[in-house]
Amino acid sequence: MAKNLSTAQLTGGGTFGYNQAMEAELLYSPEDILRLEKKKRIWTAVLAVVAGGALIACVLLCLITRTANAAQTERAVIVLSGAAGCLCLYLRRFAVAETGHEIAHAEMLLRDESAEYDGVLTVTKERLRIRNSIAIRLVSLTEGGEVRRLKVIESRAKRLSAYEGRTVRLRVVNGYVAGVRAL
């Protein structure tokens, strides 16, 4: 579960090694983390409503069961609980958990030590999914003859596409792109 960090803790009180006049684009900001936390709370509420609604519907179906309609009611309860269970699992895995992983990833990008690299940016089509976590895209940064292979979370890869083929300075944290600035 993500820790709630203050803006000063997330930014380290600084500007991520960039001069503010340089107009660097950070892929995550403290405001993005707050938006992600709100999104996670909303998805959690939707999950609770689906699960609670299915439970109430199943209980009501059981209460209206009579001898004449027992077989039909039993099938309805089985179908309803199965469908609601599948929907709850889907919401938990692909909405709530993935948003939580993205929050943790964003906090890591804002908190940990970074390095800066210059070069020509290429966003590749290669997509990977970290097991039970976030989806990432691979990017390459070519400087001279040296090619660095870096990662960016897939939801932020579109921002890097605007810089494709241009000479940029990337802020990199643990092999992940955290910020970009055109040179």
The contacts of residue 23 (CB under 8 Å, 6+ apart) are 181
Of the candidates 109, 133, 155, which is a domain's last residue? 109
- 5 within some domain: no
55 shares a domain with 93: yes
Q: What is the pLDDT of residue 26?
A: 86
Give the chain's domain count: 2
Q: What is the pLDDT of residue 72?
A: 94
Domain hosting residue 54, numbered range: 33-109
Q: What is the pLDDT of residue 23?
A: 58
Strands 176-182 and 25-26, bridge-based pairing:
antiparallel
Angle at 145 between CA 139 and CA 150, to 5 degrees: 20
The residue to which tokens 């209206």 are assigned? 64
- Rounded average pLDDT per 10-residue block, the chain, 183 residues: 43 42 73 95 97 96 93 95 96 92 91 91 89 88 91 88 90 92 89
The residue to which tokens 């409503």 are assigned? 49
- 1 within some domain: no
Of the candidates 90, 109, 128, which is a domain's last residue? 109
Q: What is the pLDDT of residue 21?
A: 35
- 18 within some domain: no
pTM to 2 decimals? 0.75
Question: What distance in Å separates the CA atoms of residue 159 and residue 125, rounded to the nearest whole number?
Answer: 14
91's enclosing H/E stretch is: helix 70-91
Q: What is the pLDDT of residue 12?
A: 44
